[in-house]
Amino acid sequence: MTDHTRFAGHAVLVTGAGRGIGAAVARRLAEEGGRVLVSDRDLPEAERTASGLRQLGLTAEALACDVADRTSVEAAVAHTVAAFGPLDVLVNCAAHCTPDVPLFEDDPDEAWARDLDITLTGVHRCCRAALPHLVASGRGAIVSIGSVNGLQDCGNHAYSAAKAGLASLTRTLAGHAAARGCRVNLVVPGTVRTSAWEGRDDDLDALRPLYPLGRVGEPEDIAAAVAFLASRDAAWITGTTLVVDGGLTAVNTGFHTAVRHP
C-alpha cells in the first residue's frame, strides 16, 4: 500500500519526467505527498504529466529543462525552490541513447558526445546545482536512474558508458555529500515498457524469457524503488546501486536453458 505521507511537504525535482520512468516517478512521489516540479526538454510532455497529476488532486508544476544546458538546469532548481520551498529530493531521469552504427570505428564523435553530455554530464549539472539546496533542507536525497547497460553488454556504446559512469559518480558524490546530510543513490532498471519500445511488442515478448521473474519491467516498478531510496525508509543508505531488473543480471537464463535436461 502506498504511504501517502512519506514525502509530505517535500519539494521534489524530477528531470526527464515528461513520460516513461520519469513520469511514473513524478506521479509516485506526488501520490506520497511530494510537491513535484515535472521538468523535461519537451515542455508539452511535461505539462501533460503535471496536468494529469493536478487532475488527481496532487501538487505539480511543469517546466522546460534541458540538462545539457547549465543555465536551464539552474533555472529548474531555482523554480522548484521558489514554487515549493527548500529542495528535498532530486531524481535524475533524463537520458539520451543514440543507436549504434554497424561498425564501432564509424561511430561519430557527435553521437558519443551527446549521449555522454545528457546521460552522465547532465546528472552532474543537476546535482551540482541542487546540492546546496538539498543540504540546506536537512533531508536531501538524490536518486539517479542508471541501466543494466552499465553492468553488461546490451549494446549502445556511448549510452552504456554513460550509465556505467553514473555508478561511479553516485559513489563519489555520496562520499562528498554524506557529512553534509545528503544521500545519493542509483537505481538500475532492466528492460522497462516505455514509449521507447512503442510498436515493438514482439521484441518485448522475445526478451521476456531472459527475465527470471517472467516479465519485463513497468515504469511503476522503477518508481517504487526510487521512492524507497528517496524516503526516510532509506535513511541509512547512501552510495548504493539498487538493481531492479527482474533477476536479469543475477541469473544466466541462457546457461540454464542450455544445460537443462529432460
* 141-145 sheet: strands from edge to edge: 59-64, 35-40, 11-14, 87-92, 141-145, 183-189, 241-244
Question: Please, are residues 204 and 133 in contact by the beta-carbon 8 Å criterion?
Answer: no
CA torsion, points 39, 44, 45, 49, in degrees to nearest 10? 80
Pairing of strands 59-64, 183-189: unpaired
Verify whether residue 211 is a known catalytic residue.
no
**Count of C-beta atoms within a 10 Å radius of residue 221:** 21
CA 14 to chain centre: 8
For the chain, what is the total number of helices (H) and then of strands (E)? 9, 7
Q: Which residue has the cell 537520458?
A: 95
The helix/strand/coil state of 61 is: strand
Q: Is the dihedral of CA 84, 125, 14, 4 positive or negative?
A: negative
Q: Which residues does 121 contact at the CB level (< 8 Å), separation at least 6?
A: 68
Check 145, 159, 187, 229 and give the catalytic one. 159
* Catalytic residue set: 159
